Structure formats: structure tokens, C-alpha cells
Structure 1
Amino acid sequence: MGKINGCLKCLFIFFNVIFAIIGCLLIFGVVKASIYSQQLSAVGAPGMAWVWVFAIGVIAISCLGIYAGSSERGLALKMFAGFMGVGMIIMLIFGIIVVVLRNKVRDNFRSASSDAVKQQMDQEEFRKMLEQIQQSAQCCGLVSPKDWGDDIPASCECKSSGSRSYGIFGSSGCSARPQGSRGPNQIYAETCSDFIITWTDFFFNIVMGFFFGFAVTALLGLLVSLLMVHQVKRHDQGGPTSMAMKGY
């Protein structure tokens, strides 16, 4: 018979396997999102290094939990409990940081000056990304259509037969292109800044829920691991006593 309750042990190992898989998925997501990290960091969003550290930490602690649960070693369980306590505090701190970063990115977009936008528009990757956003969200320019200078791209063209056109962001009115510029006669009146702010808020809300959810999970992991430590300790202390009684 093992030192730890069988159901508790299986449940503990199962959840650690799940979190190890989540860590692998996080690494996969970071690799996919790294192509946009430069553009996001330009408007105040954090880099991807902290996500790498978090993902690797999740995998490492999950592997420690799997080993601690399967081996039923008190020292490994105590180490896991310590990591859970520290992890809970870190997740709470990260959740608060994400709230601050969300407000910072939102303010940077809303207060973006024409000079700052012009510097970004000089980068080919940023221009391609903005064109993709314009096609899907039916908007034109980051702050205004004048961000494109004298050459308005075809992605700004408003093809609605009426006064409004509908896209994934909602409705967007049509307006004439700026005087002295080349391109479509009718362009989307809405700028892409509101669209980007909406989706960055959505992304940050998910991340906030992720961190605060991990904080709650870490608290539960701490409590369960402490219970398992107690069971191992009670088993080890009860062993010599039961053997001595057998001798009599």
C-alpha cells in the first residue's frame, strides 16, 4: 500500500500532466507570436522573453510534481509546495502587471502622434500588418488615412454601395480620400486604432484571467501537496510503531 491516498495521487499526477501540456502549447504559441513581437513592443507591449520563462517554468514545475507524486518522496513534495507558494505570488504580481500594461498600451494607441506613426510606417513589416488589418476590419490608417502619405493602398477602398460598410469590427462609413493623394476614391472613414485597442483589450483580459486562474490553481496545488506531505509523514512515523507492535 502506498504512502498517499491512491485517488489523490492519481488526480495530482493527472493535473500536473495537463499543465505540462499547457506549457508545451504556450511555447508553441510564443513561437507563432514572435513575428509580431517587434511591432507590439513598439507601442509599449512587453517582449516575449517573459512568456518563454513562464512556459518553461510551467513545464519544469509540472515535471517536478509528476515525479513527486509518483515517487511519494516527502522532500520532492515539499519542494513542489514551495514552488506553488512562490508561483501563486508571482501569478498575482503578473496579473497586476498585465492590468497596468493594458492601460499603458491603450493610452499609447490613443495618444499616438503622427511622427511616431510615420516612423512605424517606414517599416515594411508594419505596413503589411496594417494592410491585413484594414482588409479584415474595414478601416484605413492607424491614426488617420494620412498615415499612408500620398499613396492610399487598395485595402482602404470602401466598396459599399451605401453610405456604410460592414466588417468584423462592425460598420464603417465611407469617405473621400484626402485631397492630393492617390488611390481609391472612397475609403473607410474609421481608423484602425479603435479596432486594435478593442482586440488588445480582449487579449489582455484573457491573459489576466490566465494569470489569476493560475494563482488560484497554485493555491489548490499548494494545499494538495501539503496534504500529501502530511500523509507521507504520517506513514513514515507510523511504520516503526507498527513493526514494534508486531514484535510483541
Structure 2
Amino acid sequence: MAKINPCFRRTFVFFNVLFAILGVVFIGLGLMAHFQLREEEGNKLTGVICMVVVGAVIFILSVLGAYGAQKENKNVLIAFFVIMCMGTIVLLRLAIPVAMSRNEVIPMLEKEFQTLVPLNKADKDFQHTLQYFQEQANCCGLFNGYQDWGNDVPASCDCADVEPDQCRLITQTNNNYLISIKNRKVYSQPCGPLIMGYINTGLNIALGVLFGFGSLAMLAAVMSLVMIIRITAPIPSPPPIFALDYKPPKYSELIPSA
């Protein structure tokens, strides 16, 4: 006889199936991205591998929980409960320090970016990354516009097919006068505030994911613990049944006649 409430069990299995599907989606996206990237793009391949690993872990844990609940297997549910408890501790251990130091991250990054100016003397990899971002976001420089590039303003800063108020002329000082250089127009908006905004959004998403998965792992641990308790609980013996229409035997039936 089943010891776990059928509705409770089906709810638990249903959500585990949903997370198993999510794990398969992660694995599929990771494999698709892997085939599209070149082998020399090591940093991107590292992110793809992490996505595949996370998807595989989610899939295995979801199958483990669904199987243990459906079969009412105490050992499987205990293993699932322990893993969920460990996952909750790890996720909250990552999320809480990030949330506490979040207001210090943006100013620290701004100071770090200030040390990279002038950009024409910065690391080549950072220059290539920033130039790509300039082309995509229609911005130039970090915090002071094109002046952050010194005398080597790259072509990625040039205005093209944008509103005139988004552009400005490059000028330089000549005999204490500001003159334009070949009427060259570049983006007036610096990239630093945009980058800081993206980083802030990324931190919010990361905190949401960490706290969200931590809460779900805690809920799964509680539900699995309830099922473990129900499985290990002894089966109560049924109470004795007494007939309501019971009648005692007649006196003549108890004492036979001589």
C-alpha cells in the first residue's frame, strides 16, 4: 500500500520532470554553441562546457528525485535530500556575499577602468573587446569619450547612420585654440556608463538565479524529507471491528438442558 499522498507525490514528480526538461534544454543549447564556436575561442568554450555540466547535473538530480518519489524508494530519496541540502548551502553561500558586496562592485570596477586610460596603451585584448562593444553600442571611450583613446581614436568610434546629436567632432588644441580634425565625427556617448549598467543588470540576474535555485532546492529538500518520514513511519494496525447489531446468546444456548 502506498504511504505517500498521491497528490503530493504527483506534484513532486511533475516539477522534477519540468526541471529535467530544463536540464535537457541547457545541454542542447550548450552543444549547439559548441559546434558553432572555433576551438581557439577558449574562453567561450569554457562557458559552453559549464552550461552543459549544469544541464547534466539538473537532469540527473531531477530524474533521481522523480524516480525516488514514484517508486517510494527511501534510499534514493535520502540521497536526493542530502544533495538538495548541500546545493542549498552552496547556492546561498555564493549569493549572500555577492548581495552584500554588490554596492562596492561598481565603484571598484570604475576605478579599475580608470587605470586603463589612455586606451591606446592598454592591453591589446581589452582594446579589441572595447572596439567591438563600441561598434555594437554606438559609443566611444570609457568615461571621457574619444579623449580616452589619446591620439589613436579607432574607426569603431566613427559615427555612421545615427542621429546627428549622437555625434561630435574630434578636436585638438593648436596654439591654445580648439580645431576640428578633418571634420571627423565620433560617438559622443562614452561606453563606461553602458558597461556599468550591463554589469549591474548581470549582477541582478545572477542574484535572482542563485536565490531562486537556492529556494527551489530548499523546497525540494523539505518535500523529500516529508516523503522519507511517511515511508519510514510504521503502518498503523486497523482498529478492531465491532458489529453494531451484536446480540448476546440466549441463556438456553449457554447452559444446555439436562
Q: Is TM > 0.5 for Structure 1 vs Structure 2? A: yes
Report which of the two has the higher share of helix: 1
Cα distance per residue 1:158-215 (max 9 Å; x no partner): 65554x23xxxxxxxx322254998871212222121111012112201101111112
The range that moved more, 62-71 or 144-153, is 144-153
1:147 alignment counterpart: 149
Aligned-pair CA distance for 1:230: 1.8
1:202 alignment counterpart: 201
Q: Whole-Å Cα distance in 1 between the matches of residues 103 and 197 of structure 2?
A: 12
Q: Does residue 1:96 correspond to 2:96, yes or no?
A: yes
Which letter does structure 2 place at the counterpart of 1:212? F
2:186 alignment counterpart: 187
Report if aligned partners of 1:153, 1:184 keep a CA contact under 8 Å in 2.
no
Aligned-pair CA distance for 1:57: 3.1
2:169 alignment counterpart: 176
Aligned length: 224
Q: Whole-Å Cα distance in 2 between the matches of residues 105 and 126 of structure 1?
A: 22
Q: Whole-Å Cα distance in 2 between the matches of residues 183 and 105 of structure 1?
A: 40
1:42 alignment counterpart: none
1:150–1:117 Cα change, 3 Å: closer
2:133 alignment counterpart: 133
Q: Whole-Å Cα distance in 1 between the matches of residues 132 and 30 of structure 2?
A: 21
Q: Whole-Å Cα distance in 2 between the matches of residues 79 and 148 of structure 1?
A: 60
Cα distance per residue 1:128-182 (max 9 Å; x no partner): x4344323422112454243852421453265554x23xxxxxxxx322254998
Aligned-pair identity in percent equals: 26
Q: Does residue 1:83 correspond to 2:83, yes or no?
A: yes
2:248 alignment counterpart: none
Aligned-pair CA distance for 1:25: 3.7
The range that moved more, 224-233 or 152-161, is 152-161
The structure that has the greater radius of gyration is 2
The range that moved more, 94-103 or 12-21, is 94-103
Q: Whole-Å Cα distance in 2 between the matches of residues 102 and 48 of structure 1?
A: 26
RMSD of equivalent CA atoms: 3.9
1:110–1:140 Cα change, 3 Å: same
Aligned-pair CA distance for 1:27: 4.5
Q: Whole-Å Cα distance in 1 between the matches of residues 16 and 2 of structure 2?
A: 19
1:238 alignment counterpart: 235
Report if aligned partners of 1:69, 1:77 keep a CA contact under 8 Å in 2.
yes
Extract unaligned runs of 5+ from structure 2. Answer: 174-179, 241-258
1:152–1:66 Cα change, 3 Å: same
Q: Whole-Å Cα distance in 2 between the matches of residues 51 and 161 of structure 1?
A: 39
1:232–1:23 Cα change, 3 Å: same
Extract unaligned runs of 5+ from structure 1. Answer: 40-45, 166-173
Aligned-pair CA distance for 1:60: 2.6
Report if aligned partners of 1:156, 1:184 keep a CA contact under 8 Å in 2.
no
TM-score between the two structures when normalised by the length of structure 1: 0.70
Q: Whole-Å Cα distance in 2 between the matches of residues 51 and 11 of structure 1?
A: 27
Aligned-pair CA distance for 1:12: 0.8
Report if aligned partners of 1:152, 1:183 keep a CA contact under 8 Å in 2.
no
2:73 alignment counterpart: 73
Report if aligned partners of 1:154, 1:184 keep a CA contact under 8 Å in 2.
no
The range that moved more, 187-196 or 16-25, is 16-25
TM-score between the two structures when normalised by the length of structure 2: 0.68
Q: Does residue 1:114 correspond to 2:107, yes or no?
A: no
1:150–1:15 Cα change, 3 Å: same
